[in-house]
Homo-oligomer: A and B are copies of this chain.
Amino acid sequence: MADLRSFEPGRRVNEQLLVVELDQRSYGEGRDCIILTFGNADGRIASAPFWSERRSAVAGLSRGDPVEVTGEIRMYRARRQLEVWSIRALPREQVEWARLLPSVGDVEPYWRHLDGWRGAIAAPRLRQVLAVFYEDPEFRARFTACPASIAGHHAQLGGLLRHTYEVALIARAIAEVSRADRDLVTAGALLHDIGKLESYTWRTGFAVTDAGSLLGHVVIALLKVARGAERVAGLTEREQLILQHLVASHHGRLELGAPVTPMTLEAEILHFADDASAKSASMADALADAENFVGDDLVSVRALWQLDRRRAYRGVSDWGTADTRK
């Protein structure tokens, strides 16, 4: 796999890439061009413009199409471009999708933690409810790939899995210092976002499904848990309510899309762990994105929408550590 942004100008390229954006620009009197943005798992790069005479080269391509591109990296106004010599659409079934979309990388550690915590749950019916989902191969297959959002926090292949791991780890820490049931908190973490498996698609870029728009991932998860609960013998009505409430209230406040607000200690903890995972990921992403900063400025050049219109500060210090090593 290749991070095109790190290629030297002049380097030749022959890669499978995703068409992430497709931007027509007109400069009047018939002079207009098309610029494509290509992406793969490692990042994005813009094409040099396709002028009128070469527009046929990209005819028929759409956002989300996988392509094979041959060309060369060149510099234009201090930014890298990919000058395209040839480009052809790939049949979708021939594509290694994992190489075309941003990804959290190796998902095994996340599965190991989640399965480990799950395995340590002693209470039979709690265990069984989780098993309905987490021992279903199709569920695992989708979970391995599903992003946690399409353009916000953990918007990566495997992002939902990583987010679920983070939420569980944080929630268990909060449970440790409060008087909460750690196994129940863990179960809540493992179930809270499973509605996203049907709310998003990730095959051709990340998108929201119609069900995701019309019902939202909270409601979809509630419907899934209800169906799953039917498969656990002896699950009491109260137990179903406790689990459903964890899912239903995890957004914490009505105005954030929770149909009800947390009424149990475990639900309260789950909400905070979810928020902490999402918001600290957004802040880390914002700080890591050089586009947000100008020159040597330590404060971001603009209020960032993913941080609720806040700015970010990237100043750091070693607090004298280097001095002591001298």
Please give the distance in Å from A155's CB to the nearest CB on chain B.
16
Which of the candidate stretches A5-13, A82-90, A162-170 sits at the interface with the other chain?
A162-170
Among A67-75, A91-99, A141-149, A265-273, the stretch in contact with B: A265-273
Copies of the protein in its oligomer:
6
Instruction: Bits for A100-144, please: 1 = Cβ < 8 Å to B, else 0.
Output: 000000000000000000000011111100000000000000000
- Shortest C-beta distance, A18 to chain B (Å), equals 18
Interface membership of chain A positions 280-297, coded 1 if the CB is closer than 8 angstroms to chain B and 0 otherwise: 110110011000000000
Instruction: Answer whether residue A298 sits at the interface, using C-beta atoms and an 8 A cutoff.
Output: yes
- Asked whether, in the complex, the Cβ of B244 is within 8 Å of the Cβ of A312, the reply is no
Shortest beta-carbon distance, A309 to chain B, in Å?
9
Are A280's CB and B324's CB within 8 A? Answer: no
User: Which residues of A, 223-255, contact B by the 8 Å Cβ criterion?
Assistant: 223, 226, 234, 236-239, 241-242, 244-245, 248, 254-255
- The residue on B at minimum CB distance from A168 is B177
- Given A176-B169, A263-B213, A263-B299, A219:B241 Cβ within 8 A: no
Once bound together, how far apart are the Cα atoms of A303 and B273, in whole Å?
24
Binding site for B on A (CB under 8 A): 24-29, 31-33, 49, 51, 77, 122-127, 165-166, 169-170, 172-174, 176-181, 208, 210-211, 213-216, 218-219, 222-223, 226, 234, 236-239, 241-242, 244-245, 248, 254-265, 268-269, 272-273, 275-277, 279-281, 283-284, 287-288, 298-299, 310-321, 323-324
24 A-B contacts (beta carbon < 8 Å)? A27-B28, A125-B317, A127-B319, A165-B177, A173-B173, A213-B311, A214-B242, A214-B248, A215-B248, A216-B260, A219-B244, A219-B259, A219-B260, A234-B323, A239-B317, A242-B316, A254-B255, A254-B257, A257-B259, A262-B283, A263-B310, A264-B312, A268-B280, A272-B279
